[in-house]
Structure 1
Amino acid sequence: MDIKELTERYRDRFDAHYLQDDNGTGRKGRKRKKEVETPNFLKDVIRPILDTLPDLLPEYGFTKTTDDYAMYGEYYRIKAGIVLVGGFSIDEDFNLYFTPLFHGKACGKSHKIDSIGQLVEIIHEQFERREVKMKG
């Protein structure tokens, strides 16, 4: 999965949705029905990424997200079982950043994430740094 591609696709959908021409009206002055579905960063970018982690990192106890998953504070939190590994944040251009978190607070430098391989490597480093025991 190419994270950069996901964020670029989201940015295109965002622009198409919010920059579409709303001046056209139908008969009797009714507005035309909007053709572009409202983009949702959580649904379109965050959840697909998080839902790949159980397959890519089975040894750490990641599970797929549920419909209850939401942003918490400033971050989309990444947890493996009960271990909070880090969180995603985004900038004004919809670039994705991973920040290591400990007890909900940033405990390291943010990294711009462009690929799933890069994310997996950073998560491995976090587990090694914290000496978290693997499932098994």
Structure 2
Amino acid sequence: MRHIYRCPLRWADMDAYGHVNNVVFLRYLEEARIDFLFRPEKDFQQGSVVARHEIDYKRQLVHRHTPVDIELWVTNIRAASFTISYEVKDDDVVYVRASTVIVPFDFATQRPRRITAEERLFLEEYQDDDAEKAVAA
């Protein structure tokens, strides 16, 4: 299953050429990730940190007044980290493909922690390893 976030575009996101600036895409991914992980019924309230981002720019996104879709899914769940993959797109047009490695974190002790059983069950609902292989191709 995939989580879909409708991301609004803002005037400040635009570069001098009228395109969404490449750096802004990292903020879009963050917004989608927060929308996914920090929902009242299933969340990572104990905390998490980003360990790594990979981003592949496919096409320029021209600024407009309609939101862009960000689809995300989980591609790798380990004992103390997981990977989220993304596509920023409109229907069949993909602007960005990306992935983020997330590490659960205990802010009280300032140390990484293991994924809880409840978190693992939640992440497994969105796991799709086959989609990751297709994105990498």
Give the structure, 1 or 2, with the largest relative contact order (CA under 8 Å, sep 6 or more): 2
Higher helix share goes to which structure? 1
TM-score > 0.5 by shorter chain: no
TM-score computed with the length of structure 1 as normaliser: 0.34
TM-score computed with the length of structure 2 as normaliser: 0.34
Structure of larger gyration radius: 1
Higher strand share goes to which structure? 2
